[in-house]
Copies of this chain bind each other. A is one copy, B any other.
Amino acid sequence: MSPDSSPDSSPDSSPGARGAATELVFSYGTLQSPAVQEAVFGTRVPGEPDAVAGHAAGRLRILDPRAVALSGSDTHAVLLASPDPAARVAGTVLALDAGQLAAADEYESGACVRAAVPLVSGRTARVYVPRPQSPEPLVHRRVVVSGLGSVGAGLLRLLDQRAGDLRERHRLVLTVVGAVDSGGAAVAAGGLPPAALLDLKGRGSSAARLPGAGRPGAGVAEVLAGLGEDVDLLVEAGPGDLVHGGAGLAAALEARRRGLGVVLANKAPLVLAWEELVGGDGADGAPVRFSACVGASLPTVDLARRVLVSASALRVEAVLNSTCQLVLRAVEEGAAVEEAVARAQRHGVAEADPSLDVDGWDTAVKLVTLAAAALGHRAALGDVDVTGIRGVDPAQLQATRRRGEVVVLLGLAERVAGPADGAADGPADGPADGWRLSVRPTALPEHHPLARMDAQETGVVLHTDVAGRIAATGLHHDATPTAAAVLRDLVDLATTAPR
């Protein structure tokens, strides 16, 4: 629009004659410059110094090349509300006629609108301010939580505590519409109150006892079928069954069959049905996430994938089982293995049946998952050479420490050279495509990143060809960080996957 346009085209135009001063506009930027005025209005306009109180000046980037060419700058000054009432933005009050106002509108670009501000002089003037951005619309996702042990209950607690944060930072509303435990389920398409579920669990009861919503004996398949279209995401956090998959595997497959996104805290489905759940390359495209299964709150898979975008892994070392880490450190201080395990059980760190941890299979499961997700190497649990920590000799462990080494239960992925490498381009269906996986007690030099860890820390080290050595460790004392990893995955699926 040129300064010659009809005054009627400006909604703020007054009925005054063209050329009459009809609007006061406060400028604190380039419109004060005589050169800019000449270019925008075809003339200089009268002005008086004034100021706005309670504001500070900021800069807004302008991408319109005409505005940049006119003002000689690619940013415009903008007003920002200041917590300090004494803050002042000084500028000039310009008297503009309707045509000039329209020209100023165009000059200030589409990002600005006019607002009325009181000036220090007592007058009120129009001022150009950034156009208010309407907030992103809220995304609603309905979640079924299967398994209400420490991780599932921890997730309910976080969903309750962080609802405001999820809404403001991620524009996301996550509603629990189903909760399943060993006693049955609670279901409500309109949403279950997390606090009521947590109260039941805290009293050693089942979600199935929730008044009005309880379904004693119901399993995930029944819950999902009953909800029909009224569910978007499944969290599977039930007990793992590494041999048959059990209810957790069935739940994950049923959810995928229904087209739901799945977040796994249960590792068994990944080991037994990687292809069906995640797909060949473990790409982010699959609506399945499993951050909590490989390092709890430590995002091992994300970190490795990020580093390996432009580098190749030569070797991956990991200490992924905190029970073993705790037990080995206790043995180092003089305890027998059984005694240290019993102590970890009493402190609630080790499971009632600690054999999966102590015999190395929990580490092996995590290693297999990490290899599939970050290295693109598919292996079965049976392909991993596994030795647990039951047989470690306390005297030997202490002697190792004295000579400056530390024994950890190391999960290791090593590249193997030779003919096995030739199969790396083929379908990922065999164990021998260039990587060898093992889990065994290993002495590391004291300065190794995994030797330097605390007794309750877990970690992973990537040795790469061109990105150096990257190490990451996570320290946590209860299941909340694992629940935080589940929530991270839920946010990820809810904000990226289509529904």
Contact = CB atoms under 8 A, between A and B. Distances in A.
A312 B80 contact: no
Interface string A102-119: 000000000000000000
A310 B487 contact: yes
Interface string A301-317: 01100110111100000
A78 B484 CA distance: 38
Interface in A246-305: 253, 257, 275-276, 296-299, 302-303
Given A61-B275, A257-B65, A310-B491, A472 B469 contact: no
Nearest to A309: B488
A100 to B, nearest CB: 28
A310 B485 CA distance: 7
A66 interface: no
B473 A471 contact: yes
A82 B488 CA distance: 39
Interface in A68-111: 68, 74-75, 80-83
A474 B468 contact: yes
A249 to B, nearest CB: 12
Interface centre among A59, A165, A275, A484 (most CB of B within 10 A): A484
A253 B492 CA distance: 32
A378 to B, nearest CB: 10
Given A59-B276, A80-B429, A466-B484, A472 B303 contact: yes
A149 interface: no
- Copies of this chain present in the complex amount to 2
B481 A466 contact: yes
A138 interface: no
Interface centre among A63, A80, A307, A464 (most CB of B within 10 A): A307
A470 B466 contact: no
A306 B488 contact: yes
Nearest to A474: B470
A56 B430 CA distance: 10
A422 B466 CA distance: 45
Nearest to A155: B310
Given A81-B427, A276-B75, A467-B297, A484 B311 contact: yes
B58 A429 contact: yes
Contacts of A167: none
A203 interface: no
A276 B60 CA distance: 7
Contacts of A423: 83
Given A299-B306, A302-B302, A488-B306, A56 B467 contact: no
A473 B449 contact: yes
A402 interface: no
Given A58-B427, A299-B303, A468-B474, 6 more contacts: A60-B275, A68-B257, A75-B276, A81-B426, A170-B309, A309-B492
30 contacts: A59-B275, A59-B276, A61-B275, A63-B257, A74-B276, A75-B276, A80-B427, A80-B429, A81-B427, A83-B426, A158-B310, A162-B310, A165-B312, A296-B468, A297-B311, A299-B303, A303-B303, A306-B488, A309-B488, A309-B491, A310-B488, A311-B488, A449-B473, A466-B480, A466-B484, A467-B476, A467-B481, A468-B480, A468-B481, A469-B476
Q: 7 closest Cβ contacts across the A-B interface?
A: A468-B476, A310-B487, A452-B452, A297-B467, A468-B481, A310-B488, A469-B475
Interface of A: 56, 58-61, 63, 65, 68, 74-75, 80-83, 158, 162, 165, 170, 253, 257, 275-276, 296-299, 302-303, 306-307, 309-312, 422-423, 426-427, 429-430, 447, 449, 452, 454, 464, 466-477, 480-481, 483-485, 487-488, 491-492
